[in-house]
Amino acid sequence: MSGKFYITTPIYYVNDQPHIGHAYTTIAADVLARGQRAAGRDVRFLTGTDEHGIKICQAAARAGLNPGELADRVVVHFRDLWKRLDIRYDDFIRTSQDRHRARVGELVRRLLDRDQIYLGAYDGWYDEGQEEYVTENDARENDYLSPISGRPLVRHSEESYFFRLSRWIEPLAAHIESHPEFIQPASRRNEVISKLKLGVEDLSISRQAAKLMNWGVPMPNDPACSVYVWIDALSNYITALGYPPLGDGQEDLFASYWPADIHLIGKDILWFHAVYWPCLLLALDLPLPVTVFAHGWWLHGGKKMSKSLGNFISREEIEDICRDYSPDYLRYFLLRSVKFGDDGNFSSGQLKEIYNTELANGVGNLLSRTVKMVEKYLSGTIPRPPSAGKSGEEEVIGRARDLIESFPGWMARLEFQSYLGAIVDLETAANRYIEENKPYALAREDPASPRLAEILATCAEAVRIILLYLLPVMPEKAAQGLEMLGVEVPDQGATVYPARWGGYDWSRTVKKGKPLFPRRD
């Protein structure tokens, strides 16, 4: 596999602290980025913060700060959390940065030049949590409450600039039709197709600057208005690549990385990414992203965990999980316990159970018993493993090959649960193989038996492959485990995949270490 891979997360609002929902998207993006890097692709991974808009202004006013001060405080929590969770992004964009603001102004100017924007008036309902106008029908259907936060909709009436969104709906629908990969998963694609059929109106893309404490990007033709926060925010995916070029010394990454290979988002913001964003790109005559993938929600009490409902796993609770288990385990759990794309309930019982079953008793046990036996019976040196065909090893080798062969497909389809499931299957097969072949009994009978060496080499090879394939999800733990096996830990950016059964320079010396995944009771 080669070529470039540009992946983005949503940029998160800085009106409040990060929580598990934000961590979820960002972890998934990091795992994909690491997986693609290790498969030899030139990866660019972008994340950042969305700092303009009414939500930030209101939160700042409540805290007695101006919006810029609030953003400066909160952004630190996002950066710190990403560091704690071992998120390796290439760029972190803040929409308050000059590099972004100047480019948003330029993009809007280009839309004006292309007659894509006109002055009109808006009178209707507004969902402040979502920063979105709501049609009368939708408002009535939801009893004038936000379908996302449950908060009352607010009446808005103002002169506004409109983007000729409706002009682009037909070409967009044709694109969606001919590119099944454009909106994923398929169920979300169908939702968008159905909603498009109901008709789409032009989009209001400006707000009165004074109502936003002049905190926003001014409309280039009318500075009394600010660019609507969603137009401003969506643009980050290209402004971060230095587009449009402004001769300000910013590297021109656009030619190398655009279009995005994946915009990873939650389903709450699919419409913005699957309709507004591609239509803006069409109006600017720019290529569309390859895939917009909308994952599901972490729920609590049947409702989406959110800051507005206060039912979320907070930054502090994330810290507790990192301390009680490890940051790597939080990464593993979030991707393993729920099929990516579906909703899930967060349960601390399940958190402990999966840890003990799959990691403490599973991978961790396989690693520690293998290392111990190699030390005790083979003076610490791992011999070359047998290849397929030998009796007894077929299942372990077959499972390892399945994992290796299926990995690129799982990554391409974001099927993290199946990918981690295949690791667990390999671990289970290898632990069973030990029970069945009883190397400890063999060692008592004949310590020099070649069969004993074969069995232990098979176990060591299975666990090497497990750890290699765990690297994107558990970068720190997998590296520690590989060191115990005497395997040099590959550099970030080194091509690691596909691995090969027996594809290693043998005669490695194991190093005993602390248990990788101590049991939690």
Q: How far is the CB of 129 from ligand MSP (least distance, A)?
A: 8
Least distance to ligand MSP, CB of residue 299, Å: 7
Is 431 a binder of ligand MSP (CB under 6 A)? no
**Contact positions with ligand MSP (CB under 6 A) in 250-279:** 265-266, 268-269
Residues 6+ apart with CB under 8 A from 497: 1, 35, 38, 39, 40, 404, 407, 408, 468, 469
Residue with Cβ nearer ligand MSP (257 or 297): 297
DSSP letter for each residue of 52-70? -SHHHHHHHHHHTS-HHHH
Cβ proximity to ligand MSP: between 156 and 304 the closer is 304
Per CB under 6 A, does 45 bind ligand MSP? Answer: no
Q: How far apart are CA 463 and CA 287, in angstroms?
A: 43
Please report how close the Cβ of residue 122 comes to ligand MSP at its closest, in angstroms.
21
Q: Which stretch binds ligand MSP (CB under 6 A): 181-189, 211-219, 304-312, 495-503?
A: 304-312
Going from the C-alpha of 393 to that of each of 165, 321, 373, the distances in angstroms are 60, 37, 18
Kindly report the backbone phi and psi dihedral angles of residue 70, in degrees, each rounded to the nearest multiple of 5, phi listed first. -60, -45
State which of residues 5, 6, 7, 11 lies at the interface with ligand MSP (CB under 6 A): 11
Q: Output 334 or 430, the one with its CB closest to ligand MSP.
A: 334
CA angle at 268 for the pair 277 and 410, rounded to the nearest 5°: 85
Among 25, 96, 365, 437, indicate the residue that binds ligand MSP (CB under 6 A): 25
Q: Does 13 help bind ligand MSP (rule: CB under 6 A)?
A: yes
Is 298 among the residues that bind ligand MSP (CB under 6 A)?
yes
What does the DSSP assignment read for 269-315?
GHHIIIIIHHHHHHHTT-PPPSEEEEE--EEETTEE--TTTT-S--H
CA 499 to chain centre: 24
Size of the site for ligand MSP (CB under 6 A): 21
Instruction: Indicate the residue among 78 and 469 with the shorter CB distance to ligand MSP.
Output: 78
216 binds ligand MSP (CB under 6 A): no
If the CB atoms of residues 268 and 461 are measured against ligand MSP, the closer one turns out to be 268
Q: Is 10 in the site for ligand MSP (CB under 6 A)?
A: yes
The residue (of 334 and 424) whose beta carbon lies closer to ligand MSP is 334
Residue 185 within binding range of ligand MSP, rule CB under 6 A: no
Q: By Cβ distance, which residue is nearest to ligand MSP? A: 21
Nearer to ligand MSP, 6 or 504 (CB): 6
Rule CB under 6 A: choose which of 50, 51, 127, 128 binds ligand MSP.
50
Q: Which range binds ligand MSP by CB under 6 A, 207-215, 298-306, 357-365, 391-399?
A: 298-306
Q: Which helix (H) or strand (E) holds 374?
A: helix 365-378
Rounded least distance, CB 324 to ligand MSP, Å: 21
* 12 touching ligand MSP, by CB under 6 A: yes
Residue type, 352: K
CA 226 – CA 211 distance, rounded (Å): 9
Q: Give whichever of 347 and 509 is closer to ligand MSP, judged by the CB atom.
A: 347
**CB of 214 vs ligand MSP, minimal distance in Å:** 20
User: CA nearest 370: which of 430, 421, 450?
Assistant: 430
Q: Is 464 an interacting residue with respect to ligand MSP (CB under 6 A)? A: no
Minimum Å gap between C-beta 205 and ligand MSP is: 14
Half-sphere exposure of 352 (CA within 13 A, CB side): 6
Question: What are the phi and psi torsion angles at 440 (to 5°)?
Answer: -65, -35
306 sits near ligand MSP (criterion: CB under 6 A) = yes
Asked if 323 and 520 touch (Cβ cutoff 8 Å), the reply is no
For residue 10, the surrounding DSSP H or E stretch is strand 4-13
Nearer to ligand MSP, 23 or 404 (CB): 23
Q: Under a CB-based contact definition with an 8 Å cutoff, are residues 226 and 219 in contact?
A: yes
Kindly state the smallest distance separating residue 131's Cβ from ligand MSP, in Å: 8
**35 lines the binding site for ligand MSP (CB under 6 A):** no
**Strand-pair partners of 183:** 292
- Tokens for 430? 């290898």
Closer residue to ligand MSP (CB): 231 or 374: 231
Identify the residue among 43, 280, 305, 467 touching ligand MSP (CB under 6 A): 305
CB atoms within 10 A of CB 381: 14
Report yes or no: 8 and 261 within 8 Å, Cβ to Cβ: no
Q: Of the two residues 30 and 454, which places its CB atom closer to ligand MSP in the complex?
A: 30
Can residue 304 be called a binding residue for ligand MSP (CB under 6 A)?
yes
Summary count for the chain: helices (H), strands (E): 21, 18
CB 340 to ligand MSP: min, Å:
11
Greatest CA separation for the chain: 89
Tokens read off for 186: 């398929």
Chain positions contacting ligand MSP, by CB under 6 A: 10-13, 21-22, 24-25, 50, 233-234, 236, 265-266, 268-269, 297-298, 304-306
